[in-house]
């Protein structure tokens, strides 16, 4: 049995145990074990919702016997009031949450796959709800302003010895804004897009851009070099304000010297 088969088998076994408790209404698979099973590889995990009957939510949240019925656990902890993160002893990792029907209206989740539901369960309750989608820059002007000032401020902090802060401004904040602005440069592949995180599957969505990432994220000791690489990329694709561009370059060169 390959890993994909093992993962789906474990998911189905957990679902069967949940169903047999008589304390649940439905079971929703999410992520790569949901609607996108073609994405499953040896690094994939289980992500699912248990829809509990009224009064039984905490039975699933607080107790793990129903999980252990599908395989022994090596590690688990309560990561939210609604669910746990768990690692089975055979290496399968899972994250789950438990809700009652009345709570679903207020939850945020992407499209999933209903593995099981009771006959009278309203499947519409499990329709995707993405209230806080991944940030997408609304205009080139805003994105450019943020990226350029992140580079400038980050270099200043780095120069005064605040290297961790400078690293975050340049290699995190500026790069995050850049990934939120790629739709201005490249055609989008919406099939692979994650509704919550721009960095998910970025290497598959924008392979040409991904090849440049090592230049933009060169590490703690090479923030000036990273800033210069980002600035050069921006100049290749956008109209960069010459004044702040020159100031960024002067500051980076000063630090390198």
Q: Which portions of the chain are predicted below pLDDT 50? A: none
Third-level CATH fold of 3-126: Beta Polymerase; domain 2 (3.30.460)
pLDDT of residue 256: 94
| Residue 10 CB neighbours (<10 A) | 19
Angle at 150 between CA 217 and CA 246, to 5 degrees: 95
**What percent of the chain is helix, strand and coil (3-state, nearest 5)?**
50, 15, 30
pLDDT at 135: 67
- Give the pLDDT confidence score for residue 110 in this predicted structure: 82
Give the domain ranges of the chain. Answer: 3-126, 140-256
| Sequence-ordered list of residues with C-beta below 8 angstroms from that of 132, at least 6 positions apart, any chain | 108, 196
Residue 190, pLDDT score:
63
Is 169:149 a contact under the CB 8 Å cutoff?
no
β strands within 83-162, DSSP E: 83-88, 93-100, 113-117
Compute CA distances 223 → 177, 218, 240, whole Å: 17, 7, 20
């Amino acid at each position: 049995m390959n890993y994909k088969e093992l993962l789906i088998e474990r998911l189905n076994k957990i679902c069967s145990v949940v169903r047999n408790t008589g304390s649940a209404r439905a079971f929703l698979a999410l992520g790569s074990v949901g609607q996108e099973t073609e994405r499953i590889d040896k690094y994939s995990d289980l992500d699912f919702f248990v829809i509990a009957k009224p009064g039984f939510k905490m039975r699933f949240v607080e107790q793990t016997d129903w999980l252990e019925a599908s395989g022994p656990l090596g590690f688990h902890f309560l990561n939210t009031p609604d669910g746990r993160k768990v690692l089975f002893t055979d290496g399968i990792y899972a994250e789950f949450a438990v809700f009652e029907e009345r709570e679903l209206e207020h939850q945020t989740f992407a499209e999933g796959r209903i593995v099981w539901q009771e006959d009278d369960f309203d499947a519409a309750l499990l329709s995707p709800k993405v209230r806080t989608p991944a940030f997408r820059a609304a205009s080139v002007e805003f994105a450019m302003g943020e990226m350029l000032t992140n580079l400038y401020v980050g270099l200043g902090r780095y120069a005064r010895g605040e290297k961790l802060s400078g690293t975050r401004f340049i290699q995190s904040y500026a790069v995050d804004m850049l990934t939120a602005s790629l739709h201005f440069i490249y055609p989008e592949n919406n099939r692979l897009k994650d509704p919550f995180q721009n960095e998910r599957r970025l290497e598959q969505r924008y392979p040409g851009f991904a090849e440049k990432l090592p230049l933009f994220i060169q590490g703690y000791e090479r923030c000036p070099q990273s800033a210069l690489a980002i600035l050069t990329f921006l100049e290749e694709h956008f109209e960069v304000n010459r004044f702040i561009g020159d100031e960024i370059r002067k500051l980076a060169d000063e630090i390198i010297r």
